[in-house]
Amino acid sequence: MKDVDLRVLVVGIGKGGCNIVDYMLQTKVDIVEYVQIDTDIKNLKYGNASKKILLEDDISQKTQEDIKELLSNKITFLFIIATLGGNISSKIVPLVANFAKEANIMTFGVVSTPFNEEKKDIDLISKSINEIDSLVSCLTIINNDSIVDISGYSINNLPFDLIDEQVRNVIFSFISIIVEPSVIVLNVEDIKEFINCSKKVYMSYGIGKGPNRAIEAIVNAKNAILNNGLVKAFSKAILTDITTKINSITIKESVKLEEYLRINGNRIHIKRCVLNNTIEPRILKLKDEEMIVLVIVCAE
C-alpha cells in the first residue's frame, strides 16, 4: 500500500444507502470503515456497519454532534452514499457533506436516482442533486433507469443488488488507484491536487469487452456523466484508471485509448494502467475479456 495512513470512511444514509453498505461489506478492504445512518431502528439493527446512528424525526443537536465526531478522526476520503427521493437523504446527505466541507475533508457523493415510475417528487430530487453537488468535492450519480437499459433486464426482474454493485464498483475502483501497484504511482496528494483543479468534478466508470473494449469502456464512462445533465462539456483535464485481469491489457489498447481521448479534445492528466493488481478481480468480479475504465473529469 502506497499511503500507510490512508483512511476511507463510507457513510450510508437512509434505507438505500444502508443496504449498499451491507453489500460492500461482503468484500473486506482493510482501509475502509463503514457507518449507517437511518430513522428505521429495525433496519439499523440488522445492518452490519461497525458504527450506526439512529435519526429522530427532527435532526437533534446530539445527532449533529455524533456526525461531527465521526468526521473528526483524520479521514483521507469520505464517501456519502444514498438513494435520492426521500426526506432522509434530502436532509442528511447535505448535512453530512457540509460538516465534512467545514472539516476540510475531501468528500465524494455517490447517489442513485429512483426509477422513473418511483419518482414521487422530481423537484426534490433535482434540488437535492444541486445542493449535494455544491458541497462535495466530486459527485457520481447512478441513474437507475440507465442501468436497466444497459443491463437488458426489466425493472420487474432486475437483480436486487445490481444498483448496489454500481456504487461499490465506483468506490472500490477509485480506492484501487492509490493502493494497487501500477505503471504510474499515485498518492493521496496527487488525487487531491487533480480533484481540486475545478469546482465541478464528476466520476463514473464504464465496462467494455471485445476487440474495442478500451473505447467502449471510456465512452460508457463519459456518457454516464453527460447523461445526468449536470455537465455539458469536459475541460481539458481527465484522469483515467484502466483495470483488466492480470497482464491482459495490451500496448495497442493503451495507445488506442490515449488517441481517442486526444481526438476528443481531452488532455490525459494522469493515465494509469493496472497490470499486476490483486484487489480488482476479486472486488469487481471482472471477466477475462472485460476492461473497466474509471474516469474523473473536471467540468467546464
DSSP string, 103-128: TT-EEEEEEEEPPGGG-S-HHHHHHH
Specify the pLDDT at position 277: 40
Specify the pLDDT at position 31: 87
Cα separation, 295 vs 239, whole angstroms: 6
For residue 47, CA distances in Å to 14, 67, 256 come to 12, 18, 44
Contact indicator for 72, 48 with CB cutoff of 8 Å: no
Cα separation, 143 vs 196, whole angstroms: 25
User: Exposed, middle or buried, 227 (CB in 10 Å: 0-12/13-18/19+)?
Assistant: middle
Count the neighbouring beta carbons within 10 Å of the beta carbon of residue 154: 8
| Domains within the chain, CATH numbers bracketed | 8-172 (3.40.50.1440), 201-299 (3.30.1330.20)
Count the neighbouring beta carbons within 10 Å of the beta carbon of residue 157: 6
Contact indicator for 247, 276 with CB cutoff of 8 Å: yes
| Terminal alpha carbon distance of the chain | 34
Specify the pLDDT at position 274: 42
Specify the pLDDT at position 120: 66
* Gyration radius of the chain's alpha carbons: 18
Specify the pLDDT at position 169: 84
CA dihedral 211, 213, 214, 217 (to 10 degrees): 160
Q: Helices (DSSP H) in the chain: which residue ranges?
A: 14-24, 41-45, 61-70, 87-102, 122-135, 144-151, 162-179, 188-195, 213-226, 251-263, 280-284
Specify the pLDDT at position 281: 43
One digit per residue, the tens of pLDDT, for the chain of length 300 reads 445 578 999 999 999 999 999 999 988 888 899 999 999 999 999 999 999 999 887 788 888 999 999 898 889 999 999 998 878 888 899 999 999 999 999 999 999 887 666 666 778 888 889 999 999 999 999 887 776 666 666 666 666 788 888 888 889 888 877 776 665 566 788 788 878 877 788 888 888 888 888 888 888 888 888 877 777 666 655 666 777 665 566 777 777 777 776 656 555 444 444 433 434 444 456 666 777 788 888 776
The greatest distance separating any two alpha carbons of the chain, rounded to the nearest whole angstrom, comes to: 57
Cα separation, 14 vs 272, whole angstroms: 35
Specify the pLDDT at position 271: 45
The x, y and z cell numbers of residue 50, run together, are 461497525
User: Could you give the 3-state DSSP secondary structure of residue 265?
Assistant: coil
Q: What percent of the chain has pLDDT over 90?
A: 29
Cα separation, 146 vs 114, whole angstroms: 11
What is the strand order of the sheet 32-38 is part of? 51-54, 32-38, 8-13, 77-83, 106-113, 138-143, 201-209, 290-299, 234-244, 267-274
